[in-house]
Amino acid sequence: MAAQSNLKNMVMVLGLTCLLCSAILGGAYALTKEPIDAAAVAKTNKAIGAVLPAFDETTYESVDVDGKTYNYYKAVKGGETVGYAVESTVVGFGGPLSLMVGVTPDGVVHNTSVLSHAETPGLGAKCNTDAKFMAQWEGFDPSAKILSVKKDGGDVDAITASTITSRAYTEAVKNALAAVSVISSGIEKSNVEEEKAHE
């Protein structure tokens, strides 16, 4: 069975095993790095595609709103901005709740998608599966509806028995809309400045 132990062969076998295993893993890491990155990119692209109208290409940018940085993808089609997909993270019931919120330049929510969450399975986690809850975000116009859950006097239908998750979700959308208003006002401002410069 097992070989006799002495210091020399113990160190040698252990060292050799570690070295060999690290080498194998290094190789495997190099080989799988590309598909892993591709999978992550595919996930993000899927989320962007789900929350925005059709577009040609996106650029990754960031904006500061009230001391918080928001990363967003600006989607362009035929030279015209068709929307912004904003990554918005808030504190949910069980931990961080991260959304991708698609907003068209007129300030209307195009759609939303959950990037990651730590909500209770079967309750808050339904924010990712409950068809009724998810459908109401499609085309949500904050100028026509009040962006808070019905319990707080708004127009958002909460998930049954998960008011806190629904509130957090609503807050994430609200933050994303605020970010977009800063983004587009910034762009308008620069347009105005450009126009002034033309004069």
Partner 1 sequence: MSKNFKLITEGLVKNNPTFVLLLGMCPTLATTTSAINGLSMGLATLFVLVLSNMAISLIAPVVPDKVHIPVYIVVIATFVTLLQFLMQAYTPAMYETLGLFIPLIVVNCIVLGRAEAFASKNGVLASACDGIGVGLGFTGSLTVLGLVREILGSGSVFGWNFIGGNDGMLAFVMAPGAFLCLGYLMVLFNRFFKKN
Partner 2 sequence: MEYFLIIISAIFVNNIVLAQFLGICPYLGVSNKLSTATGMSMAVCFVITLATLVTYLINKYLLVPFQLEFLQTIAFILVIAALVQMVEIVLKKVSPSLYQALGIFLPLITTNCAVLGVAITVVTKEFTFGLPSHMLNLGEALVYAFATSLGYGLAMVIFAGIREHLAMNDVPKAFKGVPIALVSVGILALAFMGFSGMVK
Q: Check binding of 107 to partner 2 (CB under 8 A).
A: no
Q: Check binding of 91 to partner 2 (CB under 8 A).
A: yes
Backbone angles phi, psi at 149, to 5 degrees: -70, 155
What is the nearest approach in angstroms of partner 1 to the Cβ of residue 48? 16
Token pair listed for 17:
């095993």
Tell me which residue has tokens 């629904």: 166
Sheet containing 96-103: order of strands = 57-65, 68-77, 80-91, 96-103, 109-116
Q: Check binding of 25 to partner 2 (CB under 8 A).
A: yes
Q: Check binding of 151 to partner 2 (CB under 8 A).
A: no
Among 22, 62, 160, 185, binds partner 2 (CB under 8 A): 22
* x-or-dash string of contact with partner 2, 46-85, rule CB under 8 A: ----------------------x-----------------
Q: Check binding of 20 to partner 2 (CB under 8 A).
A: no
- Which one, of 188, 186, 158, 166, lies nearest residue 65 by Cα? 186
